[in-house]
A = this chain, B = another copy of it.
Amino acid sequence: MEEVKIIALKESVLEDNDKDAQNLREELKANGTCLLNLMSSPGSGKTTTLLALNRAFAGRLKWGVMEADIDSAVDALTMQQAGVPSVQLHTGGMCHLDADMTRQGIRALGLEGAELIVLENVGNLVCPAEFDTGAAINMTILSVPEGDDKPAKYPLMYETCDILVVNKIDALPVFDFDRERMERYARKCNPDIEIYYISAKTGEGVDALADALVEKVKAWCK
């Protein structure tokens, strides 16, 4: 079985996460690296979306992934097998990552000259939204089967995010999912949120999302 690098994160002792996150963001900016914090419920399709994005990036970006999980290393292995440099971060039961834990992950990934580093956060709509990781872009995935009311129930996640990806649109025919209702709730949390509809499974809509991300990353790294 292929090996994957597993990092056991240490709980940070810093008192001011916001300040630490701002420092990390500035360090990454100076380094020409864009950090994207990817958040969602468990099972929304974070890893599958990253695999689809990898195909759509088509070599336009030098990028790597940090897969945060409470346990298991399946996601980092999946990404690595797809040719994306990856590390698995184990949080030891912690429900989110803060800036210091993110920095530990970036060091472990050790990807010199990366334009984009994606942090796949722990599957959780609550706690990760409360901690600035130092990311330049916060992105959340809402999958169709979860229902159109999630922005009403977990508003901070949608306030925090720049991009909302609605995944599993191939399953729209079998679920009651009202796009207008969902968008109304989401824009109430964040009027500027950018919304993309995709199926990571079939590839529908993925190119438009990939193009937007490449553009944002290149602008940040300039």
Would A145 and B171 count as touching, CB distance under 8 A?
Answer: yes
Residues of chain A whose beta carbon lies under 8 Å from any beta carbon of chain B? 41-43, 69-72, 74, 93, 95, 122-127, 130, 143-147, 149-150, 152-156, 168, 170-171, 174-175
A124–B125 CB distance below 8 A: yes
Q: Are A156 and B74 in contact, with the CB atoms below 8 A?
A: no
Please state if B70 and A154 are interface contacts (CB–CB under 8 Å): yes
Select one of B42, B74, B126, B149 contacting A122, CB under 8 A.
B126
For A69, the closest partner residue in chain B by CB is B153
Q: Please, how many angstroms separate the alpha-carbon atoms of A95 and B153 in the complex?
A: 12
Q: Could you tell me the distance between the alpha carbons of A41 and B126 in the complex, rounded to whole angstroms? A: 11
CB of A6, distance to nearest CB on chain B (Å): 14
Given contacts A41-B42, A171-B171, A171-B174, contact A95 B145 (CB under 8 A): no
Is the beta-carbon distance between A153 and B93 smaller than 8 angstroms? no
**A95-B127, A145-B143, A171-B171 known; A153 and B41 CB under 8 Å?**
no
